[in-house]
């Protein structure tokens, strides 16, 4: 069999030159596209993709992998969490994008049309951002290929697997995985790591997840069994926002099971003398992410809770 080759590429996306690695195996197989750095400070996912893609070059591979370790270059360079600094828009709310929009919308459009479309599967790697603690999980969207997407999410091996449906209950719209699902590409968002750190365990979880995806797609042999937790399937993803600005203090943490009505945090005045708001769990569930910074704006995101 021909050896696997690795080619460094520079993708022209919305006027940015985005570094990518194009890894082609010695036999035919699917095209797997892997993105990281859609959010600029989610370092564990970026670090994992950088390591994994380079290692792939020395392995037997069927098909092709296109790996983009840092898509949102301006956010990465400026250390800007959540958004593209040029326009303040969240890139993962802009898919499938707009060719004549702002930078985030054009970057989404070019990524979707030039990189995602034509792929046989999409993995979009994330973590908690600069001020977010996170329990590892994978998310997929309802759609024609959702069984395959669910298989990818389960294979990634992060434990919690959340399904999202279009409609008013969906916590987030405009994601890469939702846009891919709409054109029939099985896609997942894989989350591990957080708080602006390169965490060894999270990097390893991502690397192993990508290896399991390769095996599921028949692109490489399965590795040795590891200690990945079995999937727990959840169908509701509830994001809680504060009312007032102030000092956010969670009293429950990521990975914790909470009961409906349980107090899970407060927003108090900066001087500590007034309780502006007591936050209670809206349902029984598990905390998937918690804003780790005490500084919250009026209407700011506090946490995400997944429920059955």
Binding footprint of Zn ion on the chain (CB under 5 A): 39, 42, 126
Contact in structure between 105 and 89 (CB atoms under 8 Å)? yes
Residue closer to Zn ion, measured from CB, 31 or 172: 172
Give CA separation, 117 vs 108, 109, 176, 180, in Å: 12, 10, 11, 8
Give CA separation, 156 vs 3, 4, 159, 187, in Å: 26, 23, 9, 12
Residue closer to Zn ion, measured from CB, 39 or 50: 39
Give the phi and the psi of residue 48 in degrees, each rounded to 5: -65, -45
Cβ-Cβ contacts under 8 Å for 241 (sequence gap 6 or more):
299, 300, 301, 302
CB of 41 to Zn ion, least distance (A): 9
CB of 185 to Zn ion, least distance (A): 19
Residue closer to Zn ion, measured from CB, 105 or 124: 124
CB of 17 to Zn ion, least distance (A): 22
CB of 190 to Zn ion, least distance (A): 10
CB of 22 to Zn ion, least distance (A): 24
Which helix (H) or strand (E) segment is 206 a member of?
A: helix 200-216
Residue closer to Zn ion, measured from CB, 64 or 89: 89
- 91 secondary structure, DSSP code: G
Q: Which two tokens stand for residue 17?
A: 């030159």
Which helix (H) or strand (E) segment is 67 a member of?
A: strand 62-68
Residue closer to Zn ion, measured from CB, 94 or 281: 94
């Amino acid at each position: 069999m021909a050896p696997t080759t690795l080619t460094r590429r520079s993708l022209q996306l919305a006027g940015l030159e985005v570094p990518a690695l194009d890894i082609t195996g010695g036999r035919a197989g699917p095209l797997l596209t892997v993105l990281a750095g859609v959010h600029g400070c989610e370092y564990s996912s970026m670090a994992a993709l950088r390591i994994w893609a380079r290692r792939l070059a020395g392995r037997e591979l069927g098909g092709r992998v296109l790996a983009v370790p840092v898509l949102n270059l301006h956010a990465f360079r400026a250390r800007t969490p959540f958004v593209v600094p040029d326009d303040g828009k969240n890139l993962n709310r802009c898919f499938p994008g707009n060719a004549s929009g702002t930078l985030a919308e054009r970057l989404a459009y070019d990524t979707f049309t030039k990189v995602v479309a034509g792929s046989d599967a999409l993995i979009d790697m994330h973590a908690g951002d600069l001020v977010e603690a996170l329990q590892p999980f994978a998310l997929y969207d309802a759609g024609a290929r959702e069984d395959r997407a669910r298989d990818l999410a389960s294979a990634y091996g992060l434990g919690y697997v959340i399904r999202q449906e279009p409609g008013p209950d969906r916590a987030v719209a405009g994601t890469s995985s939702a846009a891919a699902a709409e054109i029939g590409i099985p896609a997942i968002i894989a989350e591990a790591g957080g708080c602006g750190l390169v965490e060894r365990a999270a990097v390893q979880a991502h690397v192993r997840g990508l290896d399991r995806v390769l095996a599921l797609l028949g692109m490489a042999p399965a590795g040795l069994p590891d200690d990945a937790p079995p999937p727990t399937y959840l169908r509701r993803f509830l994001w809680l926002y504060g009312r007032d600005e102030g000092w956010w203090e969670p009293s429950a943490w990521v990975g914790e099971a909470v009961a409906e009505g349980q107090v899970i945090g407060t927003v108090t005045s900066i001087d500590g003398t007034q309780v502006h708001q007591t936050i209670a769990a809206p349902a029984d569930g598990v905390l998937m992410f918690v804003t780790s910074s005490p500084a919250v704006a009026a209407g700011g995101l506090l946490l995400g809770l997944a429920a059955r």
